[in-house]
A and B are shown apart, each in its own frame.
Chain A
Amino acid sequence: MILTTESPTNTGSTMADTILTAQELKQHYRVKQGFFKPEATVKAVDGVSFTLKKGQTLAIVGESGCGKSTLGRMLTMIETPTAGAVDFEGHDLLNLDKQKQAELRQKIQIIFQNPYGSLNPRKKIGTILEEPLVINTNMSQAERKQKALSIMAKVGLKEEHYNRYPHMFSGGQRQRIAIARGLMLDPDIIVADEPVSALDVSVQAQVLNLMMDLQDELGLSYVFISHDLSVVEHIADDVMVMYLGKVVEKGKKADIFSNPQHPYTQALLSSTPQLNADKRRTRIKLEGELPSPLNPPNGCAFHGRCIHANDRCHTETPTLQSQKNQLIACHAVEEGRL
């Protein structure tokens, strides 16, 4: 069950080559509001840039509706961005011919949130795992089975599970299957969209351990999408906090958690319950909820819930600026009002 193989080639954080760069990624959806009304635009992701380093984990944090899952879908080329550029090892992912795109898609795989919904209940585990190989490679049936079994062993599944159906597995095991499916094509990057939020704590720990082991062993880079800050604090190298389609704070994990600067990050951290009484922060009470992306507020999207907001925040949209060790999009931080 537990993987203890230590890889000599990858030593985690010392490998710091950039593997993926996203620039000003945007995803705007047109939505019909009614027969006689004009179409509206939902800016699900609005100008997000980041770099992902090889063998490291970038965590994307935010509440539901902030665009973090849309971002993951763009990176895996499930959706085509409205604007922006994604560079993966020197290839511009958005301007590729079909063949090259199919080839590179194999290198960026995704794990979905809900292991109960993301596995086809009519297919056996073996079939689910081999499907990517059938589509993308010319392997023979025997080779495919061998590959599937070896990956199953890697994620802590037994050989006899090969012929079982998804309903015969528990949530944690299903998430292992989903991870195995993501690994079938030997990817470099795994986009994990809330991989543990549907699991119980003890099972969550098993899956997080597995993900960390695989990262060490295979040198994977993770884009880890989560709303659970204690999980992020454990697994991430870099953290990016999103609010309503925009990045509000970005930096090294240690800096963000020890010295959060953006009022939203501060509120998020203080709202997370802490077991350890010493680590509890004074609760910053946020009024209201995430505004509708159909009708976002002018200026800073957060100003309606922010105690530090002034006139400038109501009119002018803040941009990401370097403050100390982080990048922060906040007028109050910029002006030194915080």
Chain B
Amino acid sequence: MSLLELNNLSVTFGNFKAVDNISYKVEEGEVLGIVGESGSGKSVSSLAIMGLIDFPGKVNADALSFDQQDLLAIDDKKRRQLTGADIAMIFQDPMTSLNPCFTVGYQIMEALKTHQGGSKKQLQQQAIELLTQVGIPAPETRLSAYPHQLSGGMSQRIMIAMAIACNPKLLIADEPTTALDVTIQAQIVDLLIDLQRKKNMGLVLITHDLALVSEVADKVIVMYAGQIVESGTAADVFSHPKHPYTQALLQSLPESAASKSRLNALSGVVPGQYDRPQGCLLSPRCPYATEQCYTTEPATQGSIERQVKCHTPLEMTPVTETATGSHPQ
């Protein structure tokens, strides 16, 4: 049994499907990368797992299980005990996700107090240990610091300390390094992966940085407009993309084109609530779209290890070859 298993999870806001029937699994000790552009439903799907979608958002799923518990069936109180303890989340912008009115020590201890309790002294001791684990120098004095007194990298370390406070089995990191500089990003990613290995956590890493995912993830899911368009092992997906969208994302990276040459940009933008196309959602932007793509939605093909949602998936050819040459027509 997998640590986390979703089957046909959808999140709707009114008539708009922000997440559209997605299914995936995360095993213990596994790093799953979720990539996609803004508006592709990456964050909303993980908020749904956390149980943080409020009215008017609605979460529907055929199955949503975590650690052999059915998250759809358990009552709110039990769910609340899981959230923040066994499933924890790190948010994108550390500067705004910490409460500016309380010291960081208070905020870390709050998480511990809610989920496990203990005397103030014990909690303080634990908080200091956590800060040491995430590499914050002089943790005793940092406990009484307010968020504005810390840099972005430090704040993100505090967020990580809060998330791992109750030894979660699953950690969801939503763009944990997007707001940080590259050298700090490298430090935070190393820290996350290090903690993940030590604690044998499942880690869901949500990001739009394809290169980052390719370096650290075991499996990867590519999302587009609320749907999973491709999934597989990171090495496989990035070296042999089967979905035109994955290919386009990879080709639009500056490093995949010769210097100063035009980049293979995918024209247009991710469809929103009012311009959702019929058939395949990528069809208006897809260079390979056929008649069928404009009318019928493609089914997900392939085994559970390697899935692609496309009528005419690309052949197994390396990305470096030209787009037109690699497509069966």
Contact = CB atoms under 8 A, between A and B. Distances in A.
Interface of A: 1, 12, 63-64, 170-172, 200-206, 208-209, 212-213, 227, 229-231, 233-235, 253, 267-268, 270-277, 279-280, 283, 285-286, 289-290
A48 to B, nearest CB: 20
B211 A271 contact: no
Interface stretch (B67-75, B82-90, B262-270): B262-270
B284 to A, nearest CB: 13
B259 interface: yes
Interface centre among A64, A202, A235, A285 (most CB of B within 10 A): A202
B37 A271 contact: no
Nearest to A264: B183
A63 B181 contact: yes
A142 to B, nearest CB: 32
Contacts of A213: 262
A306 to B, nearest CB: 12
Interface in B250-264: 250, 252-257, 259-260, 262-264
Contacts of B256: 275-276
A56 B248 CA distance: 28
Contact of A230 (B152, B211, B269): B211
Interface of B: 37-38, 151-154, 181-187, 190, 208-212, 214-215, 238, 248-250, 252-257, 259-260, 262-267, 269-270
A201 B255 CA distance: 12
B182 A63 contact: yes
A275 B209 CA distance: 10
A171 B269 CA distance: 9
A200 B186 contact: no
A202 B40 CA distance: 13
Contact of A227 (B181, B238, B252, B270): B181
Contact of B255 (A171, A230, A290): A230
A200 B208 contact: yes
A201 B251 CA distance: 10
Contacts, number: 114
B252 A204 contact: yes
Given A234-B254, A285-B190, A202 B37 contact: yes
Contacts of A234: 254-255, 257, 259-260, 263
Given A201-B210, A234-B255, A274-B255, A285 B267 contact: no
Nearest to B319: A275
A102 B23 CA distance: 60
A262 to B, nearest CB: 13
Nearest to A292: B151
A206 B285 CA distance: 13
Given A273-B211, A273-B214, A285-B190, A235 B254 contact: yes
A227 B182 CA distance: 8
B248 A202 contact: yes
A172 B182 contact: no
Given A1-B267, A209-B263, A289 B151 contact: yes
Contacts of B238: 275
Contact of B267 (A64, A200, A206, A272): A206
25 contacts: A1-B267, A63-B183, A63-B184, A200-B208, A201-B37, A201-B252, A202-B249, A203-B269, A204-B252, A205-B264, A205-B266, A206-B267, A208-B265, A230-B211, A233-B259, A234-B257, A235-B254, A253-B259, A267-B183, A273-B212, A275-B214, A275-B250, A275-B255, A276-B255, A277-B214
Which residue among B190, B238, B269, B270 has the maximum number of chain A CB atoms within 10 Å of its CB?
A: B269
CB-based closest 8 A-B pairs: A234-B254, A205-B252, A205-B265, A273-B211, A271-B186, A205-B263, A63-B181, A200-B37
Contacts of A283: 186, 190
B265 A209 contact: yes
B252 A285 contact: no
Contacts of A203: 37, 265, 269
Nearest to B238: A275
